[in-house]
């Protein structure tokens, strides 16, 4: 889709369902969108392809491409189709296999994403946080270090810090240039330690974000996540971001002012999750703007950000 010079440049950083949900709202508005997506996943179909073909895991990238695509619903459904009843293909999605094939054909994961973006008529740009395999590690409060994104939430202790290897992994030059030119940099929503922070641990991305003149906002998660942020408040989420980046780089935090229905909270309680508590006083102590909006919706018992409402606020915030 064409862009004009008047469109605000927005960079969204994250991964997982939260990022894809938000992008479906953003693509409906006149924005120049770039999604920077984690490549730390090592589970499921993505992990198998990563290990067998020595490529970055395609799963989060696939979901973002689908979210930003402008194709017939059947084409998107085909791209997201997951095989079953086959020993070889079981669990693989067609999109993951296509990205793997294109990486082999073009010789480069980033080129594969670019080519697939054209096939799917993607609104905006999708860039991997790194163009190579990256492993995420977590150090817990008992001193244990767990390696592998998919293994981290299952350990059951409090995460102290996360880090990646190789530590000197380089992002694409295009990623850095895009961050430098952004009007807004939005962090999240998504799994704090396994979807968001792996992007910020890439040294050049971290530096570019700190140096960027863009407005920087954290879109706070609505619910805690077992194994990652079990009892975290909004302040705890922000503090983890600041601690890993090394300085207070955020201008604002976007939080939901709506109460989550009791029956929905009960469903989440079964997953050891609860609404993220908003501790205004502690957030104010960080010197960042606190923005409260009606941005949550409940669908089929799940709480999600209202993608279009968040997108509309981001457009306002950019002006």
Of 87, 112, 128, which residue sits at a domain end? 128
pLDDT digits (tens, 9 = 90+) for 251-284: 999 999 989 999 999 999 999 999 999 999 999 9
The mean per-residue pLDDT over the stretch 40-56 comes to 93
Residues 282 and 196 in one domain: yes
Q: Rounded to whole angstroms, how far apart are CA atoms 137 and 193?
A: 10
Q: Which residue has the higher pLDDT, 18 or 213?
A: 213
Q: Rounded to whole angstroms, how far apart are CA atoms 124 and 251?
A: 24
Question: In 3D, which of 315, 65, 20 has the Cα closest to residue 190?
Answer: 20
Q: Rounded to whole angstroms, how far apart are CA atoms 304 and 24?
A: 12
CATH number at residue 235: 3.40.50.10680
Query: pLDDT tier at 2 (50, 70, 90 boundaries)?
Result: very low
pLDDT digits (tens, 9 = 90+) for 150-176: 999 999 999 999 999 999 999 999 999
Q: Rounded to whole angstroms, how far apart are CA atoms 60 and 21?
A: 12
pLDDT, mean over the chain:
94
Residues 176 and 186 in one domain: yes
Q: Rounded to whole angstroms, how far apart are CA atoms 254 and 288?
A: 11
Q: Which residues contact 6 (CB under 8 A, 6 or more apart)?
A: none
Report the SS3 class of residue 236. Answer: helix
Q: Rounded to whole angstroms, how far apart are CA atoms 227 and 149?
A: 12
Residues 304 and 191 in one domain: yes
Residues 80 and 141 in one domain: no
Total of domains in the chain: 2
Query: pLDDT tier at 299 (50, 70, 90 boundaries)?
Result: confident
Q: Is 210 inside any structural domain? A: yes
Q: Which residue has the higher pLDDT, 5 or 186?
A: 186
Residues 185 and 295 in one domain: yes
Structural domain that includes position 62:
41-128
pLDDT digits (tens, 9 = 90+) for 130-152: 999 999 999 999 999 999 999 99
Taking the whole predicted model, whether its pTM rises above 0.75 is answered as yes
Q: Rounded to whole angstroms, how far apart are CA atoms 252 and 56?
A: 32
Of 128, 162, 193, which residue sits at a domain end? 128
Backbone angles phi, psi at 64, to 5 degrees: -70, -40
**What length is written for the chain?**
319
pLDDT at 32: 95
Q: Which residue has the higher pLDDT, 109 or 30?
A: 109
Residues 95 and 239 in one domain: no
Residues 115 and 219 in one domain: no
Pair 220, 253: CB distance under 8 Å: yes
3, pLDDT greater than 50: no
Percent of the chain with pLDDT over 70: 98
The mean per-residue pLDDT over the stretch 199-221 comes to 97
pLDDT at 5: 54
pLDDT at 125: 97
pLDDT at 88: 83
Q: Which residues contact 280 (CB under 8 A, 6 or more apart)?
A: 290
Residue 82 gets which letter from DSSP? B
Pair 10, 215: CB distance under 8 Å: no
pLDDT at 75: 92
Backbone angles phi, psi at 308, to 5 degrees: -70, -40
178, pLDDT greater than 50: yes
């Amino acid at each position: 889709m064409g862009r004009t010079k008047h469109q605000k440049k927005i960079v969204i950083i994250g991964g997982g369902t939260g990022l894809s949900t938000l992008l479906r709202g953003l693509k409906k508005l006149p924005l120049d969108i770039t999604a920077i997506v984690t490549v730390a996943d090592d589970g499921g179909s993505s992990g198998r392809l990563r290990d067998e073909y020595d490529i970055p895991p395609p799963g989060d990238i696939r979901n973002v491409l689908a979210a930003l695509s402008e194709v017939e619903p059947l084409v998107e459904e085909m791209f997201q189709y997951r095989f079953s009843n086959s020993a070889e293909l079981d669990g693989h999605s067609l999109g993951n296999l296509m990205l793997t094939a294109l990486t082999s054909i073009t010789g480069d994961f980033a080129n594969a994403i670019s080519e697939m973006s054209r096939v799917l008529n993607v609104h905006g740009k999708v860039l991997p946080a790194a163009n190579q395999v990256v492993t995420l590690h977590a150090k817990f409060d008992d001193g244990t270090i767990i390696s592998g994104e998919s293994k981290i939430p299952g350990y059951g202790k409090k995460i102290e810090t996360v880090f990646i290897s190789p530590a000197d992994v380089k992002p694409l030059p295009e990623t850095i240039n895009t961050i430098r030119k952004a009007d807004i940099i939005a962090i999240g929503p998504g799994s704090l330690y396994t979807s968001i922070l792996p992007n910020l641990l890439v040294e050049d991305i971290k530096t570019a974000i700190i140096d960027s003149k863009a407005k920087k906002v954290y879109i706070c998660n609505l619910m805690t996540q077992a194994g990652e942020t079990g009892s975290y408040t909004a302040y705890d989420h922000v503090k983890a971001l600041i601690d890993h980046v090394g300085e207070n780089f955020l201008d604002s935090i976007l939080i939901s002012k709506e109460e989550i229905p009791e029956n929905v909270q009960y469903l989440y309680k079964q997953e050891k999750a609860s609404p993220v508590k908003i501790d205004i006083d502690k957030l104010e102590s960080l010197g960042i703007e606190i923005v409260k909006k009606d941005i949550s919706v409940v669908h089929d018992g799940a709480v999600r950000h209202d993608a279009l409402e968040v997108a509309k606020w981001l457009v306002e915030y950019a002006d």
